[in-house]
Amino acid sequence: MGAQIIDGKARAARIRENVAEAVARLGTGHGLTPGLAVVLVGEDPASQVYVRNKARQTVEVGMRSFEHRLPAETDEAELLDLVARLNADPAVHGILVQLPLPPHIDATRVIDAINPDKDVDGFHVVNAGRLMVGLDGMVPCTPLGCLVLIRDVMSDISGAEAVVVGRSNIVGKPMGQLLLRENATVTIAHSRTRDLPDVCRRADILVAAVGRPEMIRSDWIKPGAVVIDVGINRVPAPERGAGKSRLVGDVAFAEAAEVAGAITPVPGGVGPMTIACLLANTVTAACRLHGLPVPPDLLSS
């Protein structure tokens, strides 16, 4: 195995330390405690785990956590009403509505109701626009975490060929924008892309955000490339016993690690970075809402 294995778990722990220090400074210097509200509608088991982890880590770094668990039959008007109350609540600096929402609720309408300055997920159309035109906004947590990992292992992203596979609004598109902002030459590939292996082979930086287990093979990877695997896919693992499963990424990790220069594992790569960046975004939002400077070292190593 030749590649450097990028330890997202350790890097996320470092960000949480930075955040905890910043939160302590805001408390002593300004009497300000950043607060994150997380809204969960329904009983989706994966969402429940995410929400629990977010709340626990929020408290661990010294911030206030406000959890709102609503039944699956909650209607859109009730949810919009809660969002309006959270927008108006001065103790709440970040609002996150856990996706997916039940099918009878229009997720776009709900996200668009969040005050963009409290939209710590960075999904509001205003924040997507700010990222596109190069203004300070809230940057979606998963691509932000990916960028931190890429910066750690690449001294100069400028001029590099970057290929992002996947064009979702929450990962692929903002990832492309962030890499463009770093002066990479960016290609965003998707399900209609022709000759995807050929496109991937051009990449100095390859980000996979597809949701297809181990789709990207070693012969799609340029030797020495930085490979960031966003995918989280649960696959059967009969070798662990009947009915058991395991998590794999969108990249065939073992064979890709023979070719890449650096690569993220799944689990333990991008996953932990997402919540760490959410906490950092909440501090950023709290500072901006109070007219305070944003600590420059939140994401530093």
Residues taking part in catalysis: 54, 98, 121
Interacting span for ligand NDP (CB under 6 A) from 10-18, 31-39, 74-82, 190-198: 190-198
Contact 147, 189 (CB under 8 A): no
Spatial strand order in the sheet of 226-229: 4-5, 262-263, 226-229, 205-208, 161-165, 185-189
Q: Indicate whether 192 belongs to the interface with ligand NDP (CB under 6 A).
A: yes
> Minimum distance from CB of 236 to ligand NDP (Å)?
16
Sequence-distant (≥ 6) Cβ neighbours of residue 65 within 8 angstroms: 35, 36, 38, 54, 55, 58, 59
Contact 38, 67 (CB under 8 A): yes
Cα–Cα distance measured from residue 100 to residue 128, given in angstroms and rounded to the nearest whole number: 19
Shortest spacing between CB 162 and ligand NDP, in angstroms? 16
**Shortest CB 85 distance to ligand NDP, Å:** 27
Residue closer to ligand NDP by CB (options 14, 64) is: 14
Binding of residue 62 to ligand NDP (CB under 6 A)? no
Tell me if 212 contacts ligand NDP by CB under 6 A: yes
Whether the upstream peptide bond of residue 267 has omega within 30° of 0, thus cis, is yes
Q: Based on the shown chain and the rule CB under 6 A, indicate whether residue 191 belongs to the binding site for ligand NDP.
A: yes
**Among all residues, whose Cβ is closest to ligand NDP?**
168
185 binds ligand NDP (CB under 6 A): no
Site for ligand NDP in 229-288 (CB under 6 A): 230-233, 270-271, 274
Q: Which is nearer to ligand NDP, 82 or 262 (CB)?
A: 262
- x/- site string to ligand NDP, residues 103 to 142, per CB under 6 A? ---------------------------------------x
Kindly tell me which residue out of 34, 94, 143, 166 binds ligand NDP, with binding defined by CB under 6 A: 166
The tokens describing 167, both together, are 């064009």
CA dist., res. 64 & res. 59, Å (int)? 6
* Token output for 75: 């209607």
- 174 near ligand NDP (CB under 6 A): no
Report how far apart, in Å, the C-alpha atoms of 34 and of each of 43, 119, 180, 191 are. Answer: 27, 14, 31, 40
Closest separation in Å from C-beta 173 to ligand NDP: 9
Residue 8 interacting with ligand NDP (CB under 6 A): no
Considering beta carbons, is residue 82 or 208 the nearer one to ligand NDP?
A: 208
Among candidate residues 234, 284, 260, the one with its CA nearest the CA of residue 117 = 284
* Residue 213 contacts ligand NDP per CB under 6 A: no
Q: What residue ranges bind ligand NDP (CB under 6 A)?
A: 142, 165-168, 170-172, 189-193, 196, 209-212, 230-233, 270-271, 274
